[in-house]
Amino acid sequence: MKLRSRLLALLLTVILALTCSASAVDLDLTTMTRQELEALRDQITVEIETNHTPSSSEKDAVLNLVKEWVDSEFASHGASVTWPWLDYTYSRDWNRYSVKTTITYTQGSSSAEAELYAEAEKDGDAYRLILVRVGDEELLNEEPTPTATPKPAKKAEPTATPKPTKNSSSSATATPKPTKRAARATRTPGSRAAATPKATATPKPTKRAARATRTPGSRTAATPKPTATPKRRDGYGIGETCVYEGVRYTLTGYRESYGSSWNSPDSGCVFVLLSFTIENDSSEDLSLSTLLYFDAYCDDYSVDYDFGASMEENGSLDGTISRGKKVRGEYGIQVPKNWKEIEVQITPGWFKKTLTFYVIK
């Protein structure tokens, strides 16, 4: 009984290990002896350690590659990244490596945490980054898209041309042209072809005739030149809604503020707080970060987001919007007092469409 139990346990172990092995194809375990099963188990163990367990040097190489790319990407958006000391999860499938952890990104006085997942592929002695996902957003995805092979078009079958029958009466007979003599015979005496009268040109009125027809005191009215229609800017103004991927973005208004005793604008500047309403009518929760997804310009000059101004009264727009819910908040920036135009660009996630809203003072 003990031997049978040990064999059964060994068999179950081998079966579980086979699910992780690429070489386990068409094996009949019922015909294998105990020695063969033990040899197979050892072979699978070596396979898992060789092709499915990353070494310390491989872990370091993959993590350094991911850190370098993520730090550069966040820096281009004006944010910095803090990496944990521990809590890294690694995996390997042949030449594909993955790493999973939680990072903290900071911009100004605001910070947030997000889960990071990345994959890299080994090509010789080098590694190439394939996928980077932060939270629900894919910052990088270089997986090749499979393309369907077009099917060859069927050749058109030639249609047989029917042969004419011997008794066919459908052959066309040539119509004889009338001779000159026959034409003269049919012409009536004294008849000639009537010449088509030429169109006479309408005489242009002379200056004297124009003066004669002009009534006293009348002047020729000058034709007004068409005025240029002011070109509307590309984007959405106050009260207009942009719908993108099931989410409704509306700029509802703006206001100026000189802040408070603990947070006030620089000399010659003023806070402008733009009010937005964002409604999530999509099928998924929406993670919104004004630090990463919003950019502002005043009279075509880039301006920075002011977290303190946004939290002044009505709150910021940062956070998660559940499905079917909406949020109201303000996006605060610091601009010169004599500003004329403000443009806010919202990109809800990297590599997505940019939504533009503007305010003209």
Q: What is the mean pLDDT of residues 74-78?
A: 82
Residue 351: per-residue pLDDT: 64
Per DSSP, 299 falls in state: T
Domain boundaries, the chain: 56-141, 241-360
- Are residues 240 and 250 in contact, defined by beta-carbon separation less than 8 angstroms? yes
Structure confidence at residue 16 as a pLDDT band (50, 70, 90): low
Q: Which two tokens stand for residue 1?
A: 């009984």
- pLDDT of the residue at 69: 93
What are the helix and strand counts (H, E) for the chain?
Answer: 7, 16
* Confidence at residue 137, expressed as pLDDT on a 0 to 100 scale: 80
Q: Which long-range contacts (CB under 8 A, 24 or more apart) does 123-127 make?
A: 123/95, 127/61, 127/62, 127/65, 127/97
Worst-scoring range by mean pLDDT, 85-89, 102-106, 266-270, 309-313?
Answer: 309-313
Q: What is the mean pLDDT of residues 64-87?
A: 89
Predicted TM-score (pTM) of this structure: 0.43
pLDDT greater at residue 103 or residue 288: 103
Residue 189: predicted pLDDT? 46
CA distance to 186, 301, 305, per residue, from 334 (Å): 100, 12, 7
Class level of CATH domain 56-141? alpha beta
pLDDT tens profile 188-213: 444 454 444 455 555 555 555 444 44
List the CATH code of the domain at 241-360: 2.60.40.1240
| 204 to 124, 207, 208, 209, 222: CA distances (angstroms) | 88, 9, 11, 10, 21
- Tell me the per-residue pLDDT of 230-262, one tens digit each, with 9 for 90 and over: 344 578 999 999 999 999 999 999 999 888 777
Is 185 a residue whose pLDDT tops 90?
no
**Which pair of structure tokens corresponds to residue 167?**
């008794």
Give the separation between CA 15 and CA 24, rounded to whole angstroms: 10
Whether 331 and 274 have beta carbons less than 8 Å apart is answered as yes
pLDDT digit string (tens) for 97-138? 999 999 998 876 667 888 899 999 998 889 999 999 998 788
